Amino acid sequence: VSDTPPAPAPRDVFDELLALLTPERLLRDPRATGEGVTVCVLDSGVERALLEEKYRRQGVALHSIEGAIFTDAPEPLPYAGRQSTPHGTTVADIILTLAPRVRLFSADVFGPRGSCEVEVVVRALRWAVDVWKCKVVNLSLGVPEQRLQQVQRRLALQRAVEDAYYKDVLVFAAAHNEHPLTRSYPAAFAPPLLSVDKHLFADPLQFAYRLRDQVEFQAHGRGYLGPFAQEPATSWAAPHLAGIAARILSLRPELKPFEMKTILYWMYREAVH
């Protein structure tokens, strides 16, 4: 028995190509700021003045945050720059922390009533894709399986996610916080979207590909602003991966969802190996 380790297998052309996909090249490129990328935070509204002030103090000029409030009515209500609950502001802040130059839209699906139905989420998602032409949609809101038993409603949500996929829109959906004990929609519709579980990383730009019960990715699970931001949650993990994707998209805006998944996968693989 020899003590000499076996010679490394010869690297093929894929190895050589994919070795170029490093976080340093893609995420830390000076141009990777989110510029040119339109992102929708489909959530509980965004407190615009608060974020503008925070980033102004950091010397970062944000694009003006726009949006709408979605209710049972067919047409959305105008967005007055306010949050319906702080959750959406925490999510938006995470995306802006990673990619401050994105153009952000707030789709407030909670509104003053403080609750939302799947139909409202579907309408807002379609609006973000078709009217605002968003390239990235972050869905940190999920519906646990037990609350979405009706097949028709589930299918309507799935169809909206698939329509976004066919329009090259990247949808990031948070897994349930008790994943995999509880499945959450739309994260469980994993193939056409990027499903995200939580994990604590030393660097918020770190992430992992760990397929586990339909959820593929893990990203940093802590936020920076607002109540519960410091508590690990999938709600904060999804916008971290969305922010990472926005950075990459500012280098190559036309990437398709499956291309983004592949790049993220290979980047993670290269980083690990």
Partner 1 sequence: MTPGSDPETVLVVDDEEPVRKTFREWLEGAGLGCRVVTAADAEAALVIANRQPIDLAILDWNLGAGSDGLQLLEDLTVFHPDVVAIMITGFADQATPLKAMRMGIRDYLDKNQDLDRTTFLHAVRRQLEKIRPARRERRLHRELLAFREAVEKVLPLVQAAAALSDPVPLPAAVRSLFRFVLRTTGARDGVLLARSYDAEREPAEVCRAWDTEGRRLDVALVPFARSVAGSVIGMQEPSTMEHLDRAAAAGAMDLQPFERGRRSLLAVPLSVAPGVQAVLEVFDKQGPGGEPGPFTEADRRLGAAAADIGTELLRHELAERQTQRVLFDAVGAALGASEAVAASIQPADSRPWVPANPEDPPPAAVMDRLRQGLAAADAATDAGESLRLAEAVRVLALRHGSRAVAHCTRLVEEVRRLLDDTAGTGEAPP
Site residues (CB under 8 A) for partner 1? Answer: 43-45, 47, 50, 54, 82-90, 93, 110, 112-115, 141-142, 177-178, 224-231, 233, 235
Measured from the CB atom, the residue of 192 and 226 that comes closer to partner 1 is: 226
Measured from the CB atom, the residue of 227 and 253 that comes closer to partner 1 is: 227
Residue 227 C-beta: closest distance to partner 1, Å: 4
Residue 76 C-beta: closest distance to partner 1, Å: 15
Distance separating alpha carbons of residues 37 and 253, to the nearest angstrom: 7
Question: What would the two tokens of residue 60 be?
Answer: 């970062």
Give whole-number Cα distances, 94 to 63, 100, 236, in Å.
15, 9, 7
Measured from the CB atom, the residue of 112 and 180 that comes closer to partner 1 is: 112
Measured from the CB atom, the residue of 15 and 231 that comes closer to partner 1 is: 231
Measured from the CB atom, the residue of 138 and 250 that comes closer to partner 1 is: 138
Residue 89 C-beta: closest distance to partner 1, Å: 5
Residue 222 C-beta: closest distance to partner 1, Å: 12
Question: What would the two tokens of residue 23 be?
Answer: 């976080």
Residue 229 C-beta: closest distance to partner 1, Å: 7
Find, among 84, 86, 67, the residue nearest to 76 by Cα: 67
Q: Where are the alpha helices (DSSP H) in 167-233?
A: none
Distance separating alpha carbons of residues 80 and 141, to the nearest angstrom: 21
Q: DSSP code of 198?
A: E
Distance separating alpha carbons of residues 6 and 12, to the nearest angstrom: 17
